[in-house]
Structure 1
């Protein structure tokens, strides 16, 4: 089945005509066509909304575009209502039933009277609907929920899983979902018939137009201060859905809800909330040409956001993954007060002198069900055992004598000695781990100890790696004079794997703009972010920067760094592209300093600066002012020595080194013994 070209989202209202001036609590709609967002549309009443939708569907169908149209009210009722009302469990018969009976004009509709008639027919006038919003009384429809009686469930299964969901039986007042259904379903019934539209999730989505139940509040946060909430939400929802890969959208639309319907995005909230990068996210401020390293890092940190989806994994499979949601303790650790040592337990402390307590039969060991110990008695306890009822103090077995069935010891001993309190480590409900954390084995132990068996994590960030240049050949291929073996691609692919992401080998491409364009196009469905090496400057053969410039989503960052300097940053069909320098040393340094923390944020993690240490220098260096320099270095006898050459093509220095010495931008003289900043490769996760 072909994907959807056009996404439209409609925020409905059961109120009367709201006048010509755009306002909240009205009908708002937004269109996103082929990934391009349009401004929200204000529709002052339902008649105008139906006319607008009809014109939109006509236009899109004539252009051969498939449409997914979302509406923010229930498409079905709780189980049993359809059959009771129409004699059929098919929810679409309810649509037709309403369409035949609802009278609706811009200033008036009969929804309250019709709700009263349904109550009299199905619930003896006591339900299922409630709230009369008119000044006159209506037979069968109470003004409030007093003496309310509902023969059907109060909420659908999907609504029970949706925080803050209102019931569809409420006809008026704040959150009057019932009124939206009464006034919305008749219009959807007409649109369905006119366009032979598919209705989700009751039908296969094999038509040109699909009608889908979507609640913006599920995935869209607060609106900016200068925007109407409903207008903001419809535009954001349309953007969220348009940004989904075709197969991912199809997966989200695969649900089994034959009668009640479902709410699109339920269970995928974190993924849909993930921001989408804008084409201008890498644009430098006006007038900026040379960018200091710290400023470049701050700009990247402030402009990037997660692009990865979310999945739920068994705890044992989540090591090394990035948390998508906070993890809470499902129960306390320890869950009950327990003993910290092998010994004997009793109640209360004891003063100085000799003590003699009768021993109860049996013992308390780890995993045993707690028993009851009478007052002034003792029991044998083993490390980790839950304290039996009547025990709050434990004495070490080395400090006692046991004579037949009696416990003999010399005090004093404090009450509570050698015991652990319930929740002493972690309380139930306490947040253990925060979203964005990369999970360690210790984290998994903590999660398991507190009752977590599955965990919500980000999917792996797919990082495509592409080498460019006529001079490159693959290792194992005969190299002609003037050709070199591609060292960057295997280096960067292994870096990506060690960073914890999923490397995608995009191969190499010659200095041909058309060929490069084809490779980038093919990379879009395979990768979430693309790293290229070579072609990132501004010369005639620098096709990476040229293509990104053509796409209108590129900025060449001339960073005050050595080795490195040019870093092409841009977007290709919504995917961020990092154009690294072609020289291997510069490519590695830029990947570690700039790409690594940026990729972590794109993957759903936190911006992570590498851990550095001040150590004595074992070298002499006269540094000019202007650029921050990174020297290949390693530790020897407690001091940092540097590689003999600073050339960007000296790959042997990368293998020789154990990390980088970072020298700041000002001019400086380094003599042996002077403190320098050393960043081990291990600080980058290598």
Structure 2
């Protein structure tokens, strides 16, 4: 066959429709010919992507151009899995099997249910797949690796050699390659069926067809991609553009060497072992940026990620990671409800009196009324044993069950009683001063919804409807780690250039106040291997890790370097002040928030980003802080482009802000009782102008 004429690289996604506006972590594709890449194409969902690919291949084959299409997800699983599921070793049979099992729509699919069924069928319900990304539990699919067991190897042979690549078993969270596979292979199976005889899959079939499907991994050219990111290009866009261009510039002999692989069951990453050659082919000339002399300035043409966009990405991508347990109601305060609670009994359980007074039937028209009083009375907990005759009344107290023959109660203050009869004036409507059975909650109805964090009032409600034990999420385990040679413990002798660790006690106390289980990981010096070992240990016991310091891109920023090395890091240049880049990643399946080292920025980023994100990870609802518009007691001019948070408090109904905005002034955090949030646009605030004040209490502090 002739060399390839067209190269296409596709950055896949296992998630839902990403909307009409181009976004990161969506499906992106790029076409390259003769060493030149076209403008990358944004494909909002898999249905759009499949149609685009089908149209492209039809056009290319009609034009007699030979096409190589690379997808960034594994084409096979570790040895043995295919046979366990299909009874044979042909991975393409597995493709067809998945195509029949997976149901996919733009905003929903059944991949987690299919994974749970596979686990129950061949893995005893505890593996090989893990990472339930839904709010509901799925039988057989662990949410994390706490109760996980896998009889197959964790990684394919090629992944053991590809530094930073992910295992195919993980279905949710950063680096969830498993979802990409489950949602990608059915699409490729349909393309093979549609272009029967014209498509070959590498390395399972000879590439003697007009179309070749190959597995690629943009991580092989990561140094070049990172440089493109610095220059302002979305990572997904840079990956497809640079890799497509690199493949199209390779000499046919070099391409043949990369394709000369024998991996009949597991598949292989094209270009693995030839990274330097690929990087050289992808490399572009660099040019110095303009001098800005602004620590918050990005290179020309680069935009910050707006706060709202960052929050939206967290809100749509995170899911519960905690397991469930059933506990006594009295222990449920502050815990997160794991499923809807159905009322076992109505509240109130029967009609009852809302006041102390006298009960009778039918109400009373306007005018004077005299009714004979029967013997006995109705008392809360001691119902009247009998029926009140028509035209008679009975003494009844607050909370007492309404006796038969009674539907109306008149207040004792409106009654004259001589012991044998009562006199009162109407009008009084039938049903007055009574409560209907179940007017609060009806037995069989949902009393509390899943995701609710139990309050004292909720405990009262659960008791009232007869609930003694409740299903809750296990507490989110939040590990806190400080990094940096400059840090020492308070009370220790601080040498020149050293400072006391202010972040760790602050973050640990915040995690506890949020209702989570705080775990102190201590401090780590600026040594990458020491940090790696500490993160390894944390991943075995924590559900989420908060680090402070080392999250940027400097020589000693080891947190971001390790997350980048693991292939599970995104560094968001968020348009927020105070705050610098926020590193988000995954370490052995555990989410990591790399917070700034500055305590003011660390606290603000924790409140704004980590707090609501951890709420979702804990199984609760997204934590939206409640703000209040109050008059300003200050003046400030703000430039457009970033959202700002000022340390503030309210006095005499007006918002005061701390005298200095310097992020090194930790005393301002203590002085303040909340934050004033100023939107992204330009603003000149004068005394008396409305500003949004968010008290610390709205964040749960």
Q: 1:573 to 1:452 in 2, by over 3 A?
A: same
- Alignment of 1:330 with 2:344, yes or no, is yes
In structure 2, distance between residues paired with 1:673 and 1:349: 55
Contact between 1:37 and 1:235, CA under 8 Å: does it hold in 2?
A: no
- The runs of 5 or more residues in structure 2 that have no matched partner are 1-73, 91-100, 121-126, 131-139, 150-169, 178-233, 239-301
Mean CA deviation greater in 425-434 or 306-315: 425-434
Q: 1:669 to 1:459 in 2, by over 3 A?
A: same
Q: Secondary structure at the match of 1:351?
A: strand
Superposed CA deviations along residues 602-658 of structure 1, whole A, max 9, x for unmatched, are 000111221112222222222222221111112233222222222221111111111
- Alignment of 1:308 with 2:341, yes or no, is no
Aligned to 1:379: 394
Give the C-alpha shift of residue 531 in structure 1: 0.3
Contact between 2:143 and 2:320, CA under 8 Å: does it hold in 1?
A: no
What aligned pairs does 1:2-21 form with structure 2 within 5 A after superposition?
A: none
Superposed CA deviations along residues 52-103 of structure 1, whole A, max 9, x for unmatched, are 9xxxxxxxxxxxxxxxxxxxxxxxxxxxxxxxxxxxxxxxxxxxxxxxxxxx
Q: 1:444 to 1:633 in 2, by over 3 A?
A: same
Q: 1:354 to 1:245 in 2, by over 3 A?
A: closer
- Alignment of 1:496 with 2:511, yes or no, is yes
What aligned pairs does 1:36-115 form with structure 2 within 5 A after superposition?
A: 48=87
What aligned pairs does 1:465-504 form with structure 2 within 5 A after superposition?
A: 465-504=480-519
In structure 2, distance between residues paired with 1:442 and 1:231: 39
Aligned to 2:424: 409
Give the C-alpha shift of residue 357 in structure 1: 3.1
Contact between 2:174 and 2:585, CA under 8 Å: does it hold in 1?
A: no
Superposed CA deviations along residues 348-398 of structure 1, whole A, max 9, x for unmatched, are 223344444333221110011342223332221111100111111222222
What aligned pairs does 1:163-562 form with structure 2 within 5 A after superposition?
A: 223-224=103-104, 232-235=115-118, 238=127, 239-240=129-130, 243=142, 248=147, 276-279=172-175, 286=237, 290-372=304-386, 373-562=388-577
Superposed CA deviations along residues 220-272 of structure 1, whole A, max 9, x for unmatched, are x984358899965534653146857777469xxxxxxxxxxxxxxxxxxxxxx
Give the C-alpha shift of residue 426 in structure 1: 1.6
Contact between 1:289 and 1:557, CA under 8 Å: does it hold in 2?
A: no
Q: 1:392 to 1:668 in 2, by over 3 A?
A: closer
Aligned to 2:35: none
Aligned to 1:67: none
Superposed CA deviations along residues 124-183 of structure 1, whole A, max 9, x for unmatched, are xxxxxxxxxxxxxxxxxxxxxxxxxxxxxxxxxxxxxxxxxxxxxxxxxxxxxxxxxxxx
In structure 1, distance between residues paired with 2:484 and 2:377: 76
In structure 2, distance between residues paired with 1:419 and 1:591: 49
Give the C-alpha shift of residue 303 in structure 1: 0.6
In structure 1, distance between residues paired with 2:530 and 2:577: 31
Q: 1:36 to 1:620 in 2, by over 3 A?
A: farther
Contact between 1:40 and 1:234, CA under 8 Å: does it hold in 2?
A: no
Q: 1:613 to 1:354 in 2, by over 3 A?
A: closer
Mean CA deviation greater in 320-329 or 367-376: 367-376
Q: 1:637 to 1:356 in 2, by over 3 A?
A: closer
Superposed CA deviations along residues 491-524 of structure 1, whole A, max 9, x for unmatched, are 1001111111111000000000000001001111
In structure 1, distance between residues paired with 2:311 and 2:110: 31
In structure 2, distance between residues paired with 1:561 and 1:622: 16
- The runs of 5 or more residues in structure 1 that have no matched partner are 1-31, 53-220, 251-273
- Alignment of 1:637 with 2:652, yes or no, is yes
TM-score (norm 1): 0.62
Q: Secondary structure at the match of 2:104?
A: coil
Give the C-alpha shift of residue 670 in structure 1: 2.2
In structure 2, distance between residues paired with 1:37 and 1:345: 79
Q: Secondary structure at the match of 2:540?
A: coil
In structure 2, distance between residues paired with 1:428 and 1:610: 33
Superposed CA deviations along residues 8-37 of structure 1, whole A, max 9, x for unmatched, are xxxxxxxxxxxxxxxxxxxxxxxx9xx989
Q: Secondary structure at the match of 1:495?
A: helix
In structure 1, distance between residues paired with 2:112 and 2:493: 63
Q: How many residue pairs end up in the alignment?
A: 457
- Alignment of 1:581 with 2:596, yes or no, is yes
Q: Secondary structure at the match of 2:604?
A: helix
In structure 2, distance between residues paired with 1:473 and 1:242: 43
Mean CA deviation greater in 423-432 or 283-292: 283-292
Contact between 2:174 and 2:591, CA under 8 Å: does it hold in 1?
A: no
CA RMSD between the two structures: 3.0
In structure 2, distance between residues paired with 1:539 and 1:661: 31
Q: Secondary structure at the match of 2:394?
A: strand
- Alignment of 1:663 with 2:678, yes or no, is yes
Aligned to 2:667: 652
Q: Secondary structure at the match of 1:648?
A: coil
Contact between 1:275 and 1:307, CA under 8 Å: does it hold in 2?
A: no
Give the C-alpha shift of residue 589 in structure 1: 0.8
Contact between 2:338 and 2:473, CA under 8 Å: does it hold in 1?
A: yes
Q: Secondary structure at the match of 2:656?
A: strand
TM-score (norm 2): 0.61
In structure 1, distance between residues paired with 2:112 and 2:584: 33
Contact between 1:243 and 1:276, CA under 8 Å: does it hold in 2?
A: no
Contact between 2:321 and 2:619, CA under 8 Å: does it hold in 1?
A: yes
In structure 2, distance between residues paired with 1:412 and 1:674: 52
Q: Secondary structure at the match of 1:647?
A: coil
